[in-house]
A and B are shown apart, each in its own frame.
Chain A
Amino acid sequence: MNLSYKNNLGLYIHWPYCESKCPYCDFNSHKTESINEEDWIQAYVNQLHTMKEMLLKYNVKFNKLNTIFFGGGTPSLMPLKVIEKILNTANKLFDFEEKIEITLEANPGSYEREKFLDINQMGINRLSLGVQSLNDTNLNFLGRKHNYKDAIIALELAKRTFSNVSIDLIYGLKNQKIKEWEIELNSIIKNFQPNHISVYQLTIEEGTKFYSDYKKGLLKIIDEDLSADFYDNTNSLLENFDYKRYEVSNHAKNNFECSHNLNYWNSNNWIGIGPGAYSRLWSSNNNNKRFEIENYKSPKSWLSKNIHNAEFKKISFIDNSETNIDILIMGLRLSKGIKINKLLDKKIIKNEKIINLINEKIININTERIKVNKNYMIKLNAILQQIIN
C-alpha cells in the first residue's frame, strides 16, 4: 500500500461484551447481557453520521477509509446484522479504499467459529484470533472459555476462510518455562502459519482479578531477567520463521503488517465508535492541531446517550507539545521508527538527551526518520523517559 499515511483514515468499532471477563483483562469489556439489536445498530449508525459531520466541521483531510477494526470485548459475539449495518453505513459515508483492511477479533469458541464464513462474506478480510495459548493449563489459568482443541479447530477454519489471519499469544505465565513456550510457539507456526502474530507478556493491570491476586501475594510476576529472555527468544524464533518484528509486540510476514494499528502508531487519523472508544484526528482548521473525541465508557450510558442522537463525552484539542510527545510514544514502537516530518517541532530531536542516545547507538536518526535501534526496543520506556523529560 503506497498511500500517504497523512491522509489515512481508520475506523475502530468497540463491542463491549464478552462471554465472561478474563482475570488479566483491563479492557472495556463486560459479561454479556441481553441486548436489543436494533438499539445498538441505531447508536452505532448515529455515531458514524455525526463523525462524518465532525470531519467536515473540523476540516479533517482524508482520502477514503483504509482500515476498519472490530475490537472489544469479543466482537465475534456481535450479531451479524450489527456488523453488516455498520459496514454498509461506513461505506456509504466514507468510501472504502480499494484494498481496505477489515479486521475482526474473534475467540476460538464453537459459537464464534460458526460465524467465520458469514462474516467473511460480509467483507471482513482479516481475522484476529485470540488463541493466547495452546496449553489447557495455561488457558485455564488465563480464564479462557476455550481449550486447546477449540483453538486448533478455529485456527484451521480461519486459515481456510480468511486470506489474512492473525493470532494473539500470551507468555510469562505462572511457572511457564522458556523451553515450553518455545515448543508451543514453534508448533503453532509450523502447523498453522498465521500471517501475523501478536505476542504479549502477561502484564498485571490495575483493576483486574490478577491485580488483586498479585496484591495479596497469590500471584507472582516473572522477574526482569526472565522476562527479557522470554522477549529476546520469542523475537529470534519468530525471525527464524520470517516474521518481522515491526512493532514492540507485533510480528508479520511480508506485507501482512496490520494497517489499522499502523494508523495508531503513525499518528494518522482514526475514528472510534462504541463505548469508551477514542477518535484522534488532525484538524486543518486549527493550525493543524490534533483533537480527541471520547465516548461514554459504560455500555448502558453509551447506548442511552447515542440511541437518538450521537452524543460524545468530550471533544478536546491537544496542545502541539503534547502531540509531539504522543507521536514519539507511538511512533518509536515501530521498528522503522517515525518520520521526522510528522513532528510539529523538529527541535525536539536536537536536544542533549537525544544526542547522547544517538552517541550511545541507542537511537538512530537519518534525514527522514528517527528510530530506536533493534536491541534497545526492549527498553523503550526508559528511552522515552529520557526523550520526553
Chain B
Amino acid sequence: MTETNLIRNFAIIAHIDHGKSTLADRLIQECNGLAERDMKEQVLDSMDIERERGITIKSQTVRLLYKHTDNQTYTLNLMDTPGHVDFAYEVSRSLSACEGSLLVVDSSQGVEAQTLANVYQAIEVNHEIVTILNKIDLPASEPERIRQQIEDVIGLPGEECIEVSAKTGQGIKEVLSSLVEKLPPPKGDVNAQLQALLIDSWYDPYLGVLTLVRVKQGMLRKGQKIRFMSTQVSHTIESLGIFTPKILNVDTLGPGEIGFITASVKTVADCKVGDTITDERNPAKDMLPGFKPSVPVVFCGLFPMDNAQFSDLKESLSKLSLNDASFSFEAETSAALGFGFRCGFLGLLHMEIIRERLTREFDLDLISTAPSVVYKVQKTDNTNVLLHNPADLPDINHINFIEEPWIKATIMVPDEYVGSVLTLCTDRRGEQIDLTYAGARAMIVYKLPLNEVVFDFYDKLKSMTSGYASFDYQIDSYKQGNLVRVSILVNGDPVDALAMMSHRDQAENRGRAICARLKDLIPRQLFKVALQAAIGGKVIARETITPMRKDVTAKCYGGDISRKKKLLEKQKAGKKRMRQFGKVEIPQNAFFEALKMGDN
C-alpha cells in the first residue's frame, strides 16, 4: 500500500488523433523503463479496432513510478479515457476515479468539440488540469494561437500550457513534474468502511472477469468478502493487481490506489460501471455518488445473412456481452429477414464497433437494419410503451402521443462552414442554442432530435466541412413530437425491416427519397416491382422498377457448357447477398442504405 501523499491519479483527455496514446507510451517508457522493443506500438489500445480507429473503447490504466526532483518516488496512476461521446458515462466514472486530468491538445489542430465535452466534465468534478500542447515538433504547430484558443474557448490559463512532443520526448519530464506539483494527492481514511468505485470490467480468457477499481476509503485485501452495492451480489476476492502495463499481483489496495480484482464473477453484467464495492461484513452505509445503470439509446436489428448462422450469431452476441455490459440484445423475428436480434447500443459508434467485431472476429455475414432511437408511446389507455422498433408501433387509433429523445449537440467548425452547418441542423429540425466564435473557429450548439442524427448526420457534417467539423452530443430530454411511421411496401406488401419513424412534415419527402433510393438499390428483376411509401393506409410516394430487358448469353455450344455454368454459379453466389421478399430479391445492403437521407 502506498501512502496517499505519494499518489497522483490523472485521466488523459484528448481528441482523436491528438496523440494521446503516443503520449501515454512515452510516459510509460520514461517512468517504467520499458524497453523499446517491449512496447508494442501504443500499448494502451489493445483491441484491433481501437488501434485502427485510434480510439479507446475500454478504460485502461497504468501505474507509473516517477522519481521527482524532491527525490521521492511517486506513484502516478494514468487513466486512459474512452474517447467518444457514446461512452460519456464511462468517461465520467473514469474521471471520478482521479483527482486531476492531463488535457492533450494538438498544437497544430486546436480545441475540438470532443475535447470540450470531456474537459467540462473534468471541471465539473473539480479536477486540477495540466494542459499540454502536443506535436510541438510539427512545422504546422501554432502554440501561441492554440494557447489563446484554450483561454477563449475552455477558460483555462493559456500561459501554463506545456509544450510537448510525444514523438521526440520534448517536455515529458516537465509533464511528470507538473502532475506531481499541481495535482492534489487523493484523500481517504484507510480505517473507514470500504468504498471502492467500479470503473470498468472486462472478460479475460485466462483470468475471468477483471474489475478495475479505485479505492476511495478502507482497504481491499486478497480473500476478502466483498459486496457490489447496486446489485447486492457478494463475492470473495481471489486476486488483486495493478498494470505496469504488465499485470503485477499485490496483496492489498488502499485509499487512492487504482487496480483490478478478480472474484469468480461470472459475467460482466454483474459489474456495473459506477457501482460501489464494499466489505460484506463491515459495509459502508452509502454508495459513492453518480451511479446510473447504462441505457441503450440506439437500436438496430441484426440478422444473419444465412439463417443457418442464427445460433452462431446468438453465441457471438453472448460472448461480446461478456466483455461489454452496455449493449443489449433480444431475439426478434422479421417477415423480411427471418430470425435475428434487436440490439441496443450506447450510441452510433458503439453500434458500429459491435457490428464490425461480429463481422471481423466472429466471421458472421450480417444484414443490419437502419438504426432507430427509443420512442416513448403513450397509449389511449394511458399506459406507456418504449418503442425500440418502428415495426412494433401500436395502432395509430390507440396512441395518445409519441415522445422522442433530443440531444444537445456541440459542433466546432472553421467559420467558413458555419452557414452550411446551420442549414443542416435546421433541416434536421434543430433548435439553435448558441453560436460563438473563437478566432477563425465557431462553436455551434444545437438541440436536435436524436432520430435526425442517428443515421447519417455525422457523415454529412464531415463531408460538407471537408472533415474539419468535430461533433459531440449528450442526451438531453424526451419531447413530444408529431411523429408517424412510414411503411415501405414492395409489390403491395409492407417490408417490416424498412419501416421508419419520421416527423409528419418530413414524411412525404422521406418516403419519396427512400423509394427513389430503393429503386437504385434493387436491381431490375424478371417482373415489374412496385415500391410504395405509406403512412397508415395512405400511399405518399411510389416508384416502379421496370423489369429487366435482356440477360442472355449469345453463344452457347458444345464446349461452352462448363464455362456457362460457372458464369451462372458466379451470379448465383452474388444472389446469396440478396434477400427474397415475395417474388422480389432485395440486396442485403438495401435494408441499411435505403434509409440514408442523402440530399433529399
With contact pairs A276-B559, A356-B583 given, residues A381 and B554 touching in the complex (Cβ less than 8 Å): no
**CB atoms of A380 and B572 under 8 A apart:** no
Chain B residues with Cβ below 8 Å from A210 are none
Q: How far in angstroms is the closest Cβ of chain A from B487? A: 25
Of B554, B557, B558, B571, most buried by chain A (CB within 10 Å of CB) is: B558
A272–B560 CA distance with the chains assembled, in angstroms: 12
Q: How far is the CB of A351 from chain B (nearest CB, A)?
A: 14
A342 to B138, CA, bound (A): 77
With the chains together, A12 CA to B561 CA distance in Å?
15
Q: Mark B551-590, 1 if CB is under 8 A from A, else 0.
A: 1111111110100110010011001000000010000000
- Check B550 against A383 for contact (C-beta < 8 Å): no
A277 x B559 contact (CB < 8 A)? yes
Q: Which residues of B contact A228 (CB under 8 A)?
A: 549-550
A315 within 8 A of B: no
Whether B550 pairs with A379 at a CB distance below 8 angstroms is yes
Q: A276-B559, A329-B561, A333-B556 are known contacts. Are A224 and B568 too (CB-CB below 8 A)?
A: no
Confirm or deny: A41 has a beta carbon within 8 angstroms of a beta carbon on chain B: no
Q: Are A248 and B558 closer than 8 Å at their CB atoms?
A: no
Contact flag A378-B549 (CB < 8 Å), given A12-B558, A272-B559: yes
**Would you call B553 and A278 a contact (CB within 8 A)?**
no
Q: Which of B551, B554, B558, B583 contacts A379 (CB 8 A)?
A: B551
Tally chain A residues at the interface, Cβ within 8 Å.
Answer: 42
Complex CA–CA separation, A18 to B367 (angstroms): 51
Interface status of B437 (Cβ within 8 A of chain A): no
Identify which of B525, B549, B551, B583 contacts A381 (C-beta below 8 A).
B551
Neighbouring A residues of B559 by C-beta, 8 Å? 272, 276-278
User: Is A261 interfacial (CB 8 A cutoff)?
Assistant: yes
Q: What is the CB-to-nearest-CB distance from B493 to chain A, in angstroms, rounded to a whole number? A: 15
A381 close to B565 (CB less than 8 A): no
Question: When A12-B558, A388-B568 are in contact, do A380 and B527 touch as well, CB less than 8 Å?
Answer: no
**Chain A CB within 10 Å, residue with most, of B525, B550, B554, B571:** B550
The answer on a CB contact under 8 Å between A280 and B561 is yes
Minimal Cβ-Cβ distance residue in A for B557: A264
Closest to A378 in B: B550
> Given the complex of chains A and B, what is the CA–CA distance between A278 and B562 in angstroms?
10
Known A326-B565, A383-B526, A389-B572; judge A231-B558 contact (CB<8 A).
Answer: no
List of A residues within 8 angstroms of B575 by Cβ: 385, 389
CB contacts under 8 Å to B, within A316-332, are: 322, 325-326, 329-330
A360 adjacent to B526 (CB under 8 Å): yes
Q: In the docked arrangement, what's the CA distance between A248 and B548, Å?
A: 17
Q: Which of A263, A276, A382 has the most chain B CB within a 10 Å cutoff?
A: A382
Q: Is the CB of B561 within 8 A of A384?
A: no
Q: Known contacts being A326-B561, A329-B564, is A248 close to B556, with CB within 8 Å? A: yes
Binary interface profile of A, 347-366, with partner B (CB < 8 Å = 1, else 0)?
A: 00000000010001010000
Q: How far is the CA of A97 from the CA of B22 in the complex (A)?
A: 85
Alpha-carbon separation in the docked complex, A149 to B557 (Å) = 30
Q: Mark A213-241, 1 if CB is under 8 A from B, else 0.
A: 00000000000110110010000000000
Q: A309 at the A/B interface (Cβ < 8 Å)?
A: no
A384 touches B554 (CB 8 A): no
Given contacts A225-B549, A276-B559, A278-B558, contact A381 B526 (CB under 8 A): no
Of residues 221 through 250 on chain B, the ones whose CB sits less than 8 Å from some CB of chain A are: none
Closest to B583 in A: A356
User: Measured between C-beta atoms, what is the minimum distance from A332 to chain B in Å?
Assistant: 10
Q: Is the interface of B mostly helix, strand, loop or mixed?
A: loop
CA distance A228 to B564 in the complex (A): 21
CA distance A228 to B549 in the complex (A): 6
Q: Which residues of A contact B527 (CB under 8 A)?
A: 360
Interface status of A83 (Cβ within 8 A of chain B) = no
Q: Looking at the assembled complex, report how far the CB atom of A307 sits from the nearest CB atom of chain B, in whole angstroms.
A: 22
Chain A contacts for B568, CB-based, 8 A = 329, 381, 384-385, 388
**B526 is contacted by which of A276, A333, A386, A389 (Cβ under 8 Å)?**
A386
State the Cβ distance, A281 to closest chain B Cβ, in Å: 11
- What is the CB-to-nearest-CB distance from B184 to chain A, in angstroms, rounded to a whole number? 67
B554's partner among A225, A249, A322, A389 (CB-CB below 8 A) is A249
The reply to whether A381 and B558 contact each other, CB–CB distance below 8 Å, is: no
Measured CB to CB, the nearest residue on chain B to A383 is B526
In the complex, chain B residues whose CB is within 8 Å of the CB of A329 = 556, 561, 564-565, 568
Query: Do residues B548 and A382 form an inter-chain contact, with CB atoms below 8 A?
Result: yes
From A227, A249, A264, B558 is in contact (CB under 8 Å) with A264
CA separation between A386 and B526, bound complex, in Å?
Answer: 10
A326 cross-chain contacts in B, Cβ below 8 A: 561, 565
Chain B residues within 8 Å of A200, by CB: 554-555
- Distance from A11 Cβ to chain B, minimum over Cβ atoms (Å): 11
CB distance from B544 to the nearest CB of A (A): 15
By a CB distance below 8 angstroms, the chain B residues around A203 are 553-555
A63 on the B face (CB < 8 A): no
Once the chains bind, are B549 and A248 in contact (CB under 8 Å)?
no
Distance to closest chain B CB from A317 (angstroms):
14
Q: Cα distance A159–B564 when bound, in Å?
A: 34
A385 to B523, CA, bound (A): 15
Contact call B556/A330, Cβ cutoff below 8 A: yes
Minimal beta-carbon separation of A301 from chain B (angstroms): 17
CB contacts (< 8 Å) of B565 on chain A: these are 322, 325-326, 329
How far apart are A378's CB and chain B's nearest CB, in angstroms?
5
Q: Digitize A238-255: 1 where CB-to-B-CB distance is under 8 Å, 0 elsewhere.
A: 000000000011000000
- In the complex, A375 Cα to B496 Cα: how many Å? 35
Q: Which residue of B lies closest to A276 (CB)?
A: B559
Residue of A nearest to B523 (CB): A382
- Contact at A377–B552, with CB atoms within 8 Å? yes
A59 at the interface (CB under 8 A from B): no
Q: CB-CB contacts of A76-106 with B at 8 A, as 1s and 0s?
A: 0000000000000000000000000000000
Binary contact track B523-554/A, C-beta < 8 Å → 1, others 0: 00111000000000000000000001111111
Q: Is A161 interfacial (CB-CB < 8 Å)?
A: no
Q: Does A270 contact B (CB under 8 A)?
A: yes
Contact status of A385 and B572, CB under 8 A, knowing A248-B556, A380-B551, A380-B552: yes
Q: Name the A residues within 8 Å of B572 (CB-CB).
A: 385, 388-389
Min CB–CB distance B434 → chain A (angstroms): 51
Q: Are A248 and B553 in contact (CB under 8 A)?
A: yes
What are the residues of chain A within 8 A of B553 when measuring CB–CB? 203, 248, 380-381
Roughly how many angstroms separate A225 CA and B551 CA in the complex, as a whole number?
11
Within the complex, the shortest CB–CB distance from A45 to chain B, in Å, comes to: 21
Which of B552, B561, B571 meets A248, CB within 8 Å? B552
A201 within 8 A of B: yes
Among candidates A224, A270, A278, residue contacting B548 with C-beta atoms closer than 8 Å: A224
Interface string of B154-193 (1 = CB under 8 A from A): 0000000000000000000000000000000000000000
Chain A residues, Cβ within 8 Å of B552: 248, 377-381
A232 CB, nearest partner CB in chain B, Å: 9
B583 and A270 within 8 A (CB): no
Q: Are B558 and A280 in contact (CB under 8 A)?
A: yes
| A-B residue pairs in contact (CB < 8 Å), sample of 28 | A200-B554, A224-B548, A224-B550, A225-B549, A227-B550, A248-B556, A249-B555, A264-B558, A276-B559, A278-B558, A278-B559, A329-B564, A356-B583, A360-B526, A362-B526, A378-B549, A378-B550, A380-B552, A381-B551, A382-B526, A382-B548, A382-B551, A385-B568, A385-B571, A385-B572, A386-B526, A389-B572, A389-B575
Query: Shortest 9 CB-CB distances between A and B: which pairs?
Result: A228-B549, A228-B550, A200-B554, A381-B551, A264-B558, A380-B552, A382-B551, A278-B559, A378-B550
Q: Can you add 4 more A-B contacts, CB < 8 Å, to A248-B554, A330-B556, A377-B552? A: A325-B565, A326-B561, A380-B553, A385-B575
B residues engaging A (CB < 8 A)?
525-527, 548-559, 561, 564-565, 568, 571-572, 575, 583
